[in-house]
Amino acid sequence: MQINDHFSFSYQLFRFDNAEGLSDAQVDPSFEAFTYSVAFASTDRMNSSALSNASLKSGDDERTVTLNGLLTDLGEKGRWKSLLDKGLEKLQQKYPDKNIVLKYQELPTNDTREEFMQLMSNKSAIDFVSVDQIWLGEFASKGLLSNLTTYVDDWARASNWYQQHWDGGTYNGTVYGIWTWTDVRGLWYWKDLLQQSQIDADDLKTWKGYIGSAQKLNQELKPAGINGTILFDTYYSQDLWFPYLWMLGGDILQLRDGHPTKGTYWFPTYNSTEGIQALGFIKDQVNAGIRPDKLPASDSIEFAQKRIAMILGGSWIPGYFGDQKRADFENMIGFIPLFPVPSPDKQSSTLMGGWELAIPITSNHKTLAWEFIETVLEPEILGPWIQEYGYLPTQIPLGQGLILNQSATELPYYDTLISMIPFGNIRPSIPEYPIIEGHINEAIDRVYYSNATSPSINTILNEAAVKSAHALGW
């Protein structure tokens, strides 16, 4: 997601220098405005308030312990409820002498980030938070998240995670978040529209075949008001470009020696030969008449309404088709678990998103908050929930179990989606990443709307990389 370039200012504003002073965190007296508990989710933004200093380890006589949280609404407020209810129920059994209460706020993605920054600026007591993987490095570098390394060492379950997802919860070798579930992206298409246009689905697997098929679909279906496919002109356009960069062997950043202040640090490499070739594929699509769409929020809906014939979309696409049975859905909609590749000998790639759970540095109940997160992550609690909403597992045993689970097999293409995880990639967890992705987004926009007098792709990427290098301190 695109974040304004305010890194240096916010670093000074939100830095906590006393990482050990959890119990001494000042609490904003307005934080009492939490208006609902685990049983109710409100759409209202809440201010922060004073909370009890009760702790299971402190010897307090108080029976009630309140865990306060801040969560993204996952696009639909209330989704967290069943998961957290079950986690709370099991945690309560462990401490029958305590009355453990959850109070949490659900907000849209970008609002979650802004509210978290405000709460941390006020040093408000928050015990758990959902963190977008690309925020983790920034939050950790500012001292806003608790070090979980001791907890996870005692937990001894790190090896159960896919390596990419475990790494996505670390910053500078320290664990700050646990990646809870993920998603992947691949190619969805209407089978009858391809058949009507006399297109073989296998043709969609290569760059040349994909572009040719899109042109043919546009020609055949445009009179009926149906787009063959689209490009995404949005704040996450770069996320749909990264797989092309990765499948060519390129990367967004690489560690390099000689940094003026840090010795070895990240340096932009997305303007490499592989990056130029990957962005060239975007340019080839524009030249072939595939148009950028500035309203991507509706694209999944339009695909479900049969107004787009094929789309590069996430594992959430089946959710837009209601409660159709797997057989009915798969008879109607095809899915290819890849992004188109430049040649058949190339291994495709995909981008993995999802959310992590972390403990803010201001938590008054750090140990209990960890025990709550640990409980929520138990496969028997988390598994049914991610299955209900079509999310994908970050835990290897959970993924294997869901593939074999009878009810999970009712989810369209679920086993195929899970099979994409091993060749998926993630974005860097470094403080400057939100700025860098903005530079890449701008470069893609320049290619979308380029003309005969526009700079070359090489120049566009090099200019973006210069800005990124500056943001990284080079």
Report the CATH number that the domain containing residue 165 is assigned in CATH: 3.40.190.10
Whether 347 and 359 map to the same domain: the answer is: no
d(CA 282, CA 232): 10
Whether 337 and 232 map to the same domain: the answer is: yes
Domain closes at, from 406, 425, 444: 425
Number of domains in the chain: 2
d(CA 271, CA 472): 15
Return the pLDDT at 387.
Answer: 85
Whether 278 and 392 map to the same domain: the answer is: no
Q: Which residues sit opposite 268 in a β-bridge?
A: 253
* Residue (of 351, 398, 357, 405) closest to 160 by Cα position: 398
1 within domain boundaries: no
Question: What's the domain range around 48?
Answer: 7-182+354-425
Whether 23 and 152 map to the same domain: the answer is: yes
2 within domain boundaries: no
Residues 251-260 pLDDT 10s: 999 999 999 9
Non-local (6+) Cβ contacts of 18 within 8 A are 24
Whether 135 and 279 map to the same domain: the answer is: no
Return the pLDDT at 323.
Answer: 79
104 within domain boundaries: yes
* Neighbour tally for 31: CB within 10 Å: 21
Return the pLDDT at 405.
Answer: 66
372 within domain boundaries: yes
Return the pLDDT at 8.
Answer: 31
Non-local (6+) Cβ contacts of 235 within 8 A are 1, 2, 441
Residues 236-254 pLDDT 10s: 899 999 999 999 999 999 9
Whether 293 and 433 map to the same domain: the answer is: yes
Whether 290 and 375 map to the same domain: the answer is: no
Q: What is the dihedral of CA 123, 125, 129, 133, to 10 degrees?
A: 30
Whether 238 and 382 map to the same domain: the answer is: no
Whether 70 and 217 map to the same domain: the answer is: no
d(CA 217, CA 192): 12
| 3-state secondary structure string across 317-379 | HHHHHCCCCHHHHHHHEEEECCCCECCCCCCCCEECEEEEEECECCCCCHHHHHHHHHHHCCH
Query: Tens of pLDDT along the chain (474 residues)?
Result: 333 333 333 333 333 333 333 333 333 333 333 333 333 333 333 433 233 333 334 334 468 999 999 999 988 899 999 999 999 999 999 999 999 999 999 999 889 999 999 999 999 999 999 999 999 999 999 999 999 999 999 999 999 999 999 999 999 999 999 999 999 999 999 999 999 999 999 999 999 999 999 999 999 999 999 999 999 988 889 999 999 999 999 999 999 999 999 999 999 999 999 999 999 999 999 999 999 987 656 788 899 999 999 999 999 899 889 878 899 999 999 999 999 999 999 999 999 999 999 999 999 999 999 999 999 999 999 999 998 888 999 999 888 876 666 556 678 998 899 989 988 999 999 999 999 999 999 999 999 998 867 889 999 999 999 999 999 999
Whether 32 and 112 map to the same domain: the answer is: yes
148 within domain boundaries: yes
Whether 77 and 134 map to the same domain: the answer is: yes
In terms of DSSP H, where are the helices of 95-186? 109-121, 136-141, 149-155, 163-167
387 within domain boundaries: yes
Whether 259 and 395 map to the same domain: the answer is: no
